[in-house]
Amino acid sequence: MKGFAAWSSVLLGLTSSVIAAPSKYAPTIKEAVEVPRGWVRVSPAPADHVVDLRFGLPQHNFKQLEQALYEVSDPFHDRYGQHLSKEEVESLVAPHPKTLEAVDEWLASHGIAKSICSRSPAKDWVMVKVPVSLAEKMLDTTYHVWKHAESGDTLVRTTSYSLPAHMHEHIELVTPTTYFGRPKGLATTFRWSDAQASLASSGESSIRSASGTVVDASCNSTITLTCLQELYNVTGYTPAATDVNKIGITGYLEQYANIQDLQSFYADQLPKAEGSTFNYTSIKGGQNSQNLSEAGIEANLDVQFAYGLSWPTPGYFWSTGGRPPFIPDLRTVNNTNEPYADWLEYVLSVPNPPQTISTSYGDDEQTVPLSYAIRTCASFAQLGARGVSLLFSSGDGGVGDGDANPATQQCKTNDGRNATRFIPAFPASCPYVTAVGATVSIPEKAVDFTGGGFSNVFPTPLYQVGAVASYLARLPAGTYQGLYNKFGRGIPDVSAQGDYFRVWYRGNPVHVGGTSASSPTVAGLVSLLNDARLSKGLPPLGFLNPLLYTKGVAGLTDVTEGNNPGCGTQGFNATTGWDPLTGLGTPNFGKLKEIVLA
């Protein structure tokens, strides 16, 4: 499987519109954006405010990396499972020597010596701390302090920046500049629940799922580990490769995973796991306070169910800082992080990252600058080529903002046209990750908030062309014409339960729902599949989608009911085969295990 060369060529030659200049040394615009909804300009950024400038350099042989990714992920290819080493990946994404030379010379022209710069292992990122006054000179721009009206978050950003004409081919993007993203946690519902009442009906009767498994009837009102094990045919499996297998959870937005709550969760649902915990790593100032009053519902949901399903597989939790408390009048020096890039910088430097990683956060795709989205997506491809399975929640807004009322819907483009448009989520729209939607009830149907649709940035990947074409061919002619990109990457790829999860939060059991519940659920099951392979001496699964859209379909249960309203519409409908609500369906672990061990 060779992937889609068109997207690769866009990546390799990434530039924004360039204004004609009289000489190659004159600054010309590299990137410009409209300010995303909700951000208000406060004041010019203090000249002595320090920013961590990061320059993304073109990855010289990314096309070969993409080809390798698809070959090692294709179950019908001779290279299947022969994942690349860290060093092999780095050699493919290393910039051309001429680029390294040109960038060093340009930085030196601004008084920045090579000795004060830091570089990624592949040298495709160059990082240096500079005051705003110098950053503005280098990028021919003006930085401002911006405030998010709803949350109060503040950022130092600009709406456009420029580079000398001759540097455009050597620098793909510069951050922090035009990215106003503030990844949303995707726990869409939150309900308090009584510890005893929610379990009162347990064992009184049973129901049969669409896949034929027998599930306790109480699972229609409360989802526990046992419910998921019964529903997805996991009961009885015991991990055997816990010495090599690992599972990871990403954390952002000061969402702290509380160990005391985890112990309460284990006591409630998995007593044999009591006393076990997880490995924690801070990235760019990320914290994980163990003050019970600061526990995060998103982080608790993620770690409790991902680690609970995969126990005793070692769990890893990364907390990445990303919302700097910048106070302009104090002229304080703060971190202006861009979380996905910061997390990727760290995890790509790790020799042996967890084989399965789940992320329950996402942005509206249109709020992410094109250069940042493409470069971040390419970094996910690096992890996939190294044998890492990446799961991302598909979003909680249906086809957009989750509002079917035309009078209040906010699905407007931010490109100056203010046109009505469905709004997919990123990073779920990246073709190198597995996007996970949400279901509810038994038998399962799509939950109405599940994010789904089609990317406006990334084209339909080769592995998905047939499935997406089949779905679109069955849509009545003209349905939602102009509201979505029929040539875009379809979201999601698979789905799982996503509502009424019984989570322990700040000392109490609560019910939580969202695709943020679905992603760690699927991740827990994928981690068990990796365990089954590793225990037999086989490599981990790595990038999942080429498998899922071929042999893996036989291990998924199709979901054919439900819709995901938003943007003043009823959204898309679930149907036979792939659909932009539930993807290919929900996992049957027993069948998938047979497939991946065959």
The answer to the question of whether 448 is labelled as a binding residue is no
Query: Are residues 429 and 506 located together in one domain of the fold?
Result: yes
Residue 230 carries which side chain, given as an amino acid letter?
A: E
In this structure, the strands spanning 315-320 and 247-251 are parallel
Last residue of a domain, one of 130, 153, 180: 180
CA dist 476 and 457 (Å) reads 24
Clarify whether residues 123 and 219 are in a common domain: no
Residue that wins the pLDDT comparison between 203 and 53: 53
Contacting residues for 347 by C-beta, under 8 A, at least 6 apart: 248, 318, 353, 357, 383
Q: Considering 156, 180, 204, which residue would you say is the last residue of a domain?
A: 180
Look at residue 419 and give its three-state secondary structure. Answer: coil
Residue 76 located in a structural domain: no
Binned at pLDDT 50, 70 and 90, residue 190 comes out as: low
Q: How many domains does the chain have?
A: 2
196 and 176 together in one domain: no
pLDDT at 335: 53
**Residue 124 is among the residues annotated as catalytic for this protein:** no
Percent of the chain's residues with pLDDT above 90: 77
Q: Are residues 417 and 338 in the same domain?
A: yes
Q: Find the mean pLDDT for residues 492-511.
A: 96
Tell me which of 122, 148, 180 is where a domain ends.
180
pLDDT over 80 at 426, yes or no: yes
- Residue 539 and residue 533 in contact, taking contact as beta carbons nearer than 8 Å: yes
pLDDT of residue 418: 85
Our answer to whether residue 495 is catalytic in this structure is no
More confident residue, 19 or 336: 336
User: What value does the mean pLDDT of the chain take?
Assistant: 90
Q: Is 577 annotated as a binding residue?
A: yes
In a domain, 167, yes or no: yes
One domain for residues 246 and 151: no
Q: Give the residues across from 505 on adjacent strands.
A: 508
Are 105 and 146 members of one domain? yes
Cα distance between residue 223 and residue 443, in whole Å: 14
pLDDT digits (tens, 9 = 90+) for 106-128: 999 999 999 999 999 999 999 99
Let me know whether 206 and 129 are in one domain.
no
Q: How confident is the model at residue 11 (pLDDT cuts 50, 70, 90)?
A: very low
What pLDDT does residue 403 have?
57
The enclosing H or E element of 2 equals: none
Structural domain includes residue 89: no
Residues 315 and 260 in one domain: yes
Domain-located, residue 539: yes
Amino acid at 360: S
The verdict on residue 84 lying in a domain is no
CA 361 to chain centre: 6
Which range marks the domain in which residue 428 is found?
A: 185-597
Expressed in angstroms, the distance from the first to the final Cα of the chain is 20
Choice among 77-91, 140-154, 269-283, 408-422 with the minimum mean pLDDT:
408-422
Is 175 found in the same domain as 206?
no
Residue 302: active-site member? yes
Going by C-alpha positions, the residue among 583, 327, 298, 349 that lies closest to residue 444 is: 583
**66 domain residue, yes or no:** no
Q: Measuring CA to CA, how many Å separate 517 from each of 335, 361, 450, 536, 565?
A: 30, 11, 11, 30, 20
Distances (CA, A) of 526 to 243, 411, 589: 17, 34, 9
Residues in CB range of 398: below 8 A, 6 or more apart: 404, 448, 449, 450, 451, 452, 564, 565, 566, 567, 571
The H or E element containing residue 214 is: strand 214-216
User: Residues 268, 131: one domain?
Assistant: no
Tell me which of 31, 153, 216, 302 is the catalytic residue: 302
Same domain, 294 and 146: no
More confident residue, 194 or 518: 518
Q: What is the pLDDT of residue 416?
A: 79
What letter does residue 539 receive in the DSSP assignment?
A: P
Nearest alpha carbon to residue 83 among 527, 543, 462, 545: 543
Contacts of 381 (CB under 8 A, 6+ apart): 62, 65, 66, 69, 432, 543
pLDDT at site 154: 84
Amino acid at 251: G
pLDDT at 192 over 80: no
- The Cα–Cα gap between 530 and 528 comes to 5
* Number of residues assigned to the chain: 598
List 160's β-bridge partners, or say none. Answer: 32
Q: What is the pLDDT of residue 568?
A: 87
In a domain, 78, yes or no: no
16, 429, 455, 516: the active-site residue: 516
Here the CATH number for the domain that contains residue 419 is 3.40.50.200
Residue 558 annotated as lining a ligand binding site? yes
Give yes or no: residues 312 and 333 share one domain: yes
Q: Among 70-84, 169-183, 317-331, 467-481, which stretch is predicted with the lowest mean pLDDT?
A: 317-331
From 90, 136, 216, 298, the catalytic residue: 298
The Cα 516–Cα 435 span in angstroms is 11
Average pLDDT on 431-435 reads 98
Residue 277 covered by a domain? yes
